[in-house]
Structure 1
Amino acid sequence: MINWPEQLKRDLISRRVVVFLGSGVSKNSVGKDGETRPPLWSEFLERGLAKIGSKGTAHIRRAIKDNDLLHACEWIKSRMEEEWEHFIRECFITPAYAPAEIHKLIFNLDQRIYLTPNFDQIFENYVMSETGGQVTVKRYSDPDVHNFLREDRTHIIKVHGSIDHPNELIFSNHDYAKARVSYSAFYDVLDACLLSHTFLIIGCGISDPDLSLLLENQRFNFPNSRPHYLVTSSHIAPDMVKSLRSNRNLKCLCYDPDNHHADLVRSLEKLVELMDQVPAQPLIN
């Protein structure tokens, strides 16, 4: 069971927490066939590799093995050409994933800002259904995306884009570089968000280039800031725990990943119990 820090609890109660949910959260969902689950990034690339065949792809396979996922994705996307969009929809939309218990618990934390790099629409579809559509969903490329910092309503921000706009999805080295230049103002907004809120990162790896860069910049520009929190498996190496705290100001909150991450679900239930004692935040249009 996660021992949630008292400071995090206070920030949750004051609704000063940004919940950042990654592909590990979506992985808990199941499609309408009762079996298919959303792929993690490496699994997605393995499926793509199977689609394009084995001829001339040894370097792509090697890149996936070496965790050079950005280059692997760029090369697979180039090989697929016009089939790329269909492949993305096949992986993230066609199975019709249902929300899992973890999606419900995360929403019941009752925070104002949710950020996600996930392309699927599992979380926002669930939230829209629960609130009658009284939630704003924005992409990093929307000209008014910055409003989430000041508006009272609940926001879900798709930091890598949405499947509805496949040409704007941030997948590869090229996509990351283009987004940082073309939408630099959005990254300024994320910088401001990191300063003004506490981040609770769930189901997300430590290799996302944008998040890593933002956290490292904050760590050394504002060395006396309170930590943000990364929920992660207890299998993480102790040296990595120290490095994340030292270089990114991330404090690891570890849980036992066995039994389909049941320990994480129970831990989140404890946080939801805390929030159930706090007056609900009104949803404002």
Structure 2
Amino acid sequence: MIQWDDAVVSAIARRRSVIMLGSGISRNSTNATGKRPATWVGFLNEACAQAGNPSTVLDLIQQRDYLTACEVIKNRLGNDVFVRLVQAEYQKPGYEAAEIHKYIYELDSSIVASPNFDLIYDTYASNASRGTIIKRDHTSNDLLNFVSGGDTRLLLKTHGNADAAHNLIFTRKDYAEARTRYRLFYDLLKSLVLTHTFIFLGCGVDDPDIRALFEDVQYAYGLMPAHYMTLPDGEVSNDILRVASEAMKIKFLTYSPENGHAELTESLLELVSLVQGRRDQLSKEQTW
């Protein structure tokens, strides 16, 4: 089981956290036929096959240059075909939320963010909250209205949604354009990095957007709160984790990947209990 740092429990309890959901969380879900949403690499391999498996793209995927690989695939297929592939993978299958989504929702973080294109957590949170969750993405121009605390619960889709696939951030060009066109959005994310504790669930250390954001803040300001990322034991070498930790000021919380990463779900259930207990204590002592 994950040994949750007290700083994680306190940040969530005080609603000074941003919980970031990666594709590993969505992989817990299935649709009526048992299909699971593809990871980024899985989707690229499928799209590459649709494009005729060009050796250039296969080499780029092997080199883990996913942004360029996606750019080449999109250029070869054309925008309309590419958009249909994204929607066929992440929207149309009708994935059902898993237990892990329920526990994430019950943490009641003021901000949940996700680069995932699918609508799994979106749909669950909207239903569970009776439509009171506010959902915004990188194109939204009113984000400042929803990040100042209070009783607002914000779901921030950092790369867009499959149901608005023309606005997705998926290729190298998309990333470059977004950082210029939606500068306010990235400035807001930087401010959250400085003022909130990020807890990454189901994410990887090689996400280019995450790395660029945290490295920018770390080297620009030097001081920022520690952030946390859950990772399966043995997935990333200790040398790489050390470099990532120093560059992004992220602490890694490991768990066993056996039985379909069941330990992560169980650990989140325990975290819900710890957070609820801390909130009860804060309320009783009136030390908010």
Query: What is the TM-score of this pair, normalised by structure 2?
Result: 0.93
Match of 1:252 in 2: 252
Aligned match of 1:116 in 114, 117, 123? 114
Match of 1:158 in 2: 157
Please state how far the C-alpha of 1:15 moved relative to its aligned partner.
1.2
Q: 2 CA distance for matches of 1:253 and 1:223?
A: 23
Aligned match of 1:60 in 42, 57, 65? 57
Number of equivalences = 276
2:70 is aligned with 1:73: yes
Q: 2 CA distance for matches of 1:224 and 1:158?
A: 26
Match of 2:271 in 1: 271
Consecutive aligned runs of 4 or more in structure 1 exceeding 3 Å deviation: none
Match of 2:284 in 1: none
CA RMSD between the two structures: 1.2
Letter in 1 for 2:121: F
Contact 2:87 2:163 in 1 (8 A): no
2:234 is aligned with 1:237: no
Match of 1:4 in 2: 4
Please state how far the C-alpha of 1:258 moved relative to its aligned partner.
1.1
Contact 1:244 1:251 in 2 (8 A): no
Q: 1 CA distance for matches of 2:201 and 2:254?
A: 11
Match of 2:37 in 1: 38
Q: Give structure 2 stretches of 5+ with no counterpart.
A: 281-288
Q: Deviations over 1:183-220 (max 9, x none)?
A: 01110000101111000001111222221111112222
Match of 1:128 in 2: 126
Q: 2 CA distance for matches of 1:245 and 1:139?
A: 27
Q: Give structure 1 stretches of 5+ with no counterpart.
A: 280-285
2:16 is aligned with 1:16: yes
Please state how far the C-alpha of 1:151 moved relative to its aligned partner.
4.7
Aligned match of 1:103 in 101, 104, 121? 101
Please state how far the C-alpha of 1:19 moved relative to its aligned partner.
0.1
- Which has the larger displacement, 250-259 or 207-216? 207-216
Please state how far the C-alpha of 1:79 moved relative to its aligned partner.
1.4
Q: 1 CA distance for matches of 2:25 and 2:146?
A: 22
Contact 1:113 1:148 in 2 (8 A): no
Letter in 2 for 1:199: F
Q: 2 CA distance for matches of 1:59 and 1:196?
A: 42
Q: 1 CA distance for matches of 2:56 and 2:164?
A: 29
Letter in 2 for 1:87: L
Contact 2:160 2:168 in 1 (8 A): yes
SS in 1 for 2:245: helix
SS in 2 for 1:165: helix
Query: How does 1:73-92 map onto structure 2 within 5 Å?
Result: 73-81=70-78, 82-92=80-90
Query: What is the TM-score of this pair, normalised by structure 1?
Result: 0.94
Match of 2:286 in 1: none
